[in-house]
Amino acid sequence: MIAWVHRRVHLVDRLMAAHRLRADARGLLRFVRSCVAAREHAKLEFSRLLSDALALVCSIGDRLGFSPDSMSFTTIDTLRTLSGEPSQDRRRVGAAVERGKDRYAVTLALSAPTLLLDENELHGFVRLHDEPNDLTQDRVVARVADVDAGDDPRGAIALVKAADPGRRPVLLDGDRLREALGATGTFGKADRLELAMVYARLCRLLSEQGHTVVCATISLHHQVHAWNRTSITRYVEVLLDVPLEELRRRDHKGVYDQGTDQRQVVGVGLAAEFPLEPDLIVDNHGPTSPRRAAECIFTRCLRVMQSPAKEADHDDRDHAALPSAGSGSSPPAASRRFRCHSTPRSPTPRSNAPAAPGSS
């Protein structure tokens, strides 16, 4: 450790000499240390003076019959005009408090979109009339739990990296839905279509109640895709694209085991009707990380929900890289609006791979 410190010191000395600075590393550290100490002392003195000023404002309010909370709505300019005559000063402060409360109410009424997608939105933006605003002025006091670090979030304010403030989406997984509906043995083409429509109607029911619904399902039927797009408000269709070879490599359930009956496997024994115009295609294989995939899907969903008409006019120009688990033979290139993968690259040929269970 000491040797490492000496090497760093010598390196800084050489850099300072190269830039013709008349000091060495130790002198620089002494200067930094003195600056930090001076800054902290200045902050302490400022805080002390600010505390004294606030105490003085509270004492003025107490003398005139105003609470500390009411005095927080006054301004320095108002306090500077006080004459010392109680009745006149009381009227001036009272008027200033009312003006301050009105301005504060306007501030609370201001809102902004969840995410600014364009620099022009710094000056103006469009909010859909039915977009929920989950931010609140309520207060909660509790211990803080870092969920990513493994803390127990029960009874605590949970800190989750990149989480949506106050909104908890409803997550529907195809396999779990099959189990809940008692449909674990229905894998024929007609059965799959009927079950996919049940999923679609359930998603619409939940979304109409204001929930953000994420449904991970195969549902490779053009009839279902068309119904979803015309029946579900702000519907976003994400196709997870994975070659059949990769699906077999990941297959922990033995679905694509060539030694088993493949007649009811979508994309092998059953024809897969891949979406004709998905809002996003995710190349869920290769170097793309799950985090990159999530960022891609999240950004695309926001764009579709906040400005669907404008986004529909875009051609295939958003190329984000990312691996995802799931679909197979790619839809016609002309129908692809957005594709997500890990690094810019030329299109590669795809085999007729089915959607993996739990893909959307």
Contact 341, 297 (CB under 8 A): no
pTM of the model: 0.44
Higher pLDDT, 323 or 6: 6
Note the pLDDT of residue 313: 39
Residue 238: which of 279, 185, 205 has the closest Cα?
A: 279
Tell me the Cα Rg of the chain. Answer: 31
Q: How far apart are CA 334 and CA 20, in angstroms?
A: 61
Higher pLDDT, 347 or 64: 64
Q: How confident is the model at residue 257 (pLDDT cuts 50, 70, 90)?
A: low
Report the range of poorest mean pLDDT among 65-69, 261-265, 286-290: 261-265
Q: How far apart are CA 135 and CA 95, in angstroms?
A: 30
- List residues bridging with 144 in a β-sheet: 157
Report the range of poorest mean pLDDT among 89-103, 175-189, 297-311, 338-352: 338-352
Note the pLDDT of residue 272: 76
Contact 323, 246 (CB under 8 A): no
Flag whether pLDDT at 165 surpasses 70.
Answer: no
Contact 70, 97 (CB under 8 A): yes
Contact 91, 66 (CB under 8 A): no
Residues 39-51 have a mean pLDDT of 94
pLDDT tens digits, 90-139: 999 999 999 999 999 888 877 777 677 778 777 777 766 555 555 555 66
Q: How many Cα neighbours within 13 Å face the side chain of 347?
A: 14
Residues 328-349 have a mean pLDDT of 46
- List residues bridging with 215 in a β-sheet: 172
Residues 177-204 have a mean pLDDT of 85
Q: How far apart are CA 118 and CA 125, in angstroms?
A: 9
Note the pLDDT of residue 350: 38
Length of the chain measured in residues = 360
Flag whether pLDDT at 280 surpasses 60.
Answer: yes
Q: How far apart are CA 273 and CA 61, in angstroms?
A: 73
Q: How confident is the model at residue 254 (pLDDT cuts 50, 70, 90)?
A: low
Note the pLDDT of residue 332: 40
Contact 214, 291 (CB under 8 A): no
Residues 2-30 have a mean pLDDT of 84
**Quick check: helix, strand or coil at residue 130?**
coil
Residues 202-215 have a mean pLDDT of 90
Cβ neighbours for 215, distance < 8 A, ≥ 6 positions apart: 172, 174, 199, 203, 360
Note the pLDDT of residue 56: 93
Q: How far apart are CA 94 and CA 197, in angstroms?
A: 63
Opening angle at CA 284, ends 283 and 288, nearest 5:
90
Most confident region among 13-27, 240-254, 306-320, 328-342 by mean pLDDT: 13-27
Residue 266: which of 157, 355, 166 has the closest Cα?
A: 355
DSSP β-ladder status, 144-146 and 280-283: unpaired
Q: How far apart are CA 156 and CA 140, in angstroms?
A: 10
Lookup result for tokens 């895709």: 225
Note the pLDDT of residue 212: 86
Lookup result for tokens 């979030």: 153
Flag whether pLDDT at 29 surpasses 80.
Answer: yes
Flag whether pLDDT at 16 surpasses 90.
Answer: no
**Quick check: helix, strand or coil at residue 320?**
strand
Contact 78, 89 (CB under 8 A): no
Note the pLDDT of residue 253: 66
Higher pLDDT, 329 or 304: 304
Average pLDDT over all residues of the chain: 76
DSSP β-ladder status, 170-173 and 144-146: unpaired
Note the pLDDT of residue 341: 61
